Amino acid sequence: MSICKLETVALRKEYPGTVALNDVCMRFEGGMVHALLGRNGAGKSTLVKILAGAVQPTSGKILLDGAEVSFHSPRDAFDKGIVTVHQELSLVPDLSVAENILLGRLPRKPGFGGLMVDWERTYDRAEAVLRSMEVRLDVRRKARTFGVADQQVIEIAKAMSYEPSVLLLDEPTSALAHHETEVLFKLVRQLAAGGVTILYISHRLHELKHIVDDIVVLRDGNYVGRIAMAESTPEKIVRMLFGEDIPLHRPSDLTCEESPVLEARNITLKNRLFGVSFRLRKGEILGIAGMQGSGRTELLKAIFGAEPFDGGELVVGGKTIPLPTPALMKEMGLAFTPEDRKGEALVAQLSTRQNLCLAAMDRIAGNGIISRTKEEPFVRRQVSSLGIKVADSEQPVSSLSGGNQQKVVVGNWLNNKPGIMLFDEPTRGIDIQAKRQIFGIMWQLSREGISSIFVSSELEELLEVCHRILVMKAGRVVGEVAPGTTDFKQLLEKCIED
């Protein structure tokens, strides 16, 4: 019998207008990996924040090794051996990898009043952590110079450096490539074998059989139940997650016209894109598949003008655009939802209302005067049509769950009435229900004649959602497939084949 490492007793968290956790009682055993699942807004992130010391509960208890503990800050949780890897990146961009991994704990040289950092020991310790993860990164480079996947690895390395007794992983693989995910799984299994209690939040249900021992489910702030992974089935898990709700299924009425609304001709971006050409049809959902680093994100940024390309041209609505810029492409009816919603799509300090109105500000405040009265119908329309779960649109957008934040990103651009949507990993870090809602948005846009380009690392999503899928590798389009005649295995082989 495993020793009970972590327990919550009648844990409750109330916010104005909502109960995020409703007297939740859970037990998490040492030496096991527990999947913590729930729909968007179910209370998972709230529970993790409480256990991490970032948020204080309204009532209830936390027991660690049978003794009651209370955390007033993340430092309190660290001191008790509870370490969290949050879904949203929390790196200091202009500090080095080593400084981020050992933030607040940099080794000091003897003497000098402990004011002098021992940089060699700092770099050695950071490199030792990365070696234990079988990861090679330049620890002297600034964190901002790495892509999202590598930044996630740095976050995980920072957590590992604490040698935790309880590890909370909130969507740790959402930005990782397949081989990076395998490295993480190996580390998680090693930690569990050593007696560490691990809570693992993931919306990638196919991952669970490779890593978790049991599944614990929250729904609307309530504890639903627990099931051993060996006894679970996809149907049982979905029933626990959704209750009587029926997930959305792919519609059969999606068609697109033959006329192109966008054409890329030999787009070249130094060392990243090499002669990329394709056509996007009116009302089409065009998927782009490929491994991490294949050039998918670079292509979307080049199309939107965020990455000026070196050669080639775009044709949008019959108009040739040799040098696109974000302002010009927005004027041409394009919208871009980037992969990093926190860093590139949202202004965390602003309210949900303000974030929903940023892209359409010219349309809303035509005379240059911002008016909440004018903003209100734009906000109300998107909150209603996208099902954004927010008690008050004046709430900071940072207080919303990941899925609702993603809907705000999409709603912001829909308020500008685009003709072409560029979606870069729009379902990263959100649950099944929120994913289905994003898919439903794409399908409805298709019915309205609005075209979409959809980048996703989840190949199953592309096969389910898209009319057509382009395959990219090493900055080139190397193939095209039709979802109706291609399965997951075949698409994966096209993405990785030499």
* CATH value at residue 51: 3.40.50.300
Say if 252 falls within a structural domain: no
Say if 402 falls within a structural domain: yes
Nearest Cα neighbor of 202 from 85, 288, 338 is: 85
Residue 193 has pLDDT above 80, yes or no: yes
Q: What is the DSSP code (8-state) at residue 488?
A: H
pLDDT band at 1 (very low <50, low <70, confident <90, very high): very low
Return the structure tokens found at 392.
Answer: 């008050």
pLDDT of residue 248: 53
Say if 106 falls within a structural domain: yes
Q: Where are the beta strands (DSSP E) in 3-81?
A: 4-15, 18-29, 33-38, 59-64, 67-69
Claim to verify: residue 443 and residue 478 sit in the same structural domain: yes
- Which class for 327: exposed (0-12), middle (13-18), buried (19 or more C-beta within 10 A)? exposed
Alpha-helical segments (H) within 61-145: 74-79, 97-101, 119-132
Q: Total domain count for the chain? A: 2
Give the pLDDT mean for 424-447: 84
Instruction: Give me the domain span that covers residue 410.
Output: 260-496
289-307 residue pLDDT tens: 988 778 999 999 999 999 8
pLDDT band at 197 (very low <50, low <70, confident <90, very high): very high
Claim to verify: residue 206 and residue 275 sit in the same structural domain: no
Claim to verify: residue 463 and residue 368 sit in the same structural domain: yes
Claim to verify: residue 200 and residue 146 sit in the same structural domain: yes
Q: Compute the residue count for the chain.
A: 498
Claim to verify: residue 268 and residue 232 sit in the same structural domain: no
Claim to verify: residue 225 and residue 304 sit in the same structural domain: no
Say if 251 falls within a structural domain: no
Distance CA 467, CA 97 (A): 41
117-154 residue pLDDT tens: 999 999 999 999 998 877 889 999 999 998 777 887 89
Residue 59 has pLDDT above 80, yes or no: yes
pLDDT of residue 445: 92
Claim to verify: residue 307 and residue 356 sit in the same structural domain: yes
Say if 445 falls within a structural domain: yes
Contacts of 278 (CB under 8 A, 6+ apart): 263, 264, 286, 470, 477
Distance CA 269, CA 271 (A): 6
Claim to verify: residue 224 and residue 277 sit in the same structural domain: no
Claim to verify: residue 232 and residue 288 sit in the same structural domain: no
- Torsion-angle region of residue 321: left (phi > 0), alpha (psi -120 to 50) or beta? beta
CA 9 centroid distance within chain: 30
Q: Average the pLDDT over each of 10-19, 22-31, 68-77, 431-440 and give the range with the smallest value.
A: 431-440
Angle in degrees, 0-180, between the axes of helices 119-132 and 148-160, rounded to the nearest 10: 100
Claim to verify: residue 224 and residue 279 sit in the same structural domain: no
Give the pLDDT mean for 344-370: 85
Claim to verify: residue 345 and residue 292 sit in the same structural domain: yes
Claim to verify: residue 117 and residue 220 sit in the same structural domain: yes
Token pair 């394709």 is found at 278
Give the pLDDT mean for 195-206: 86
Say if 248 falls within a structural domain: no
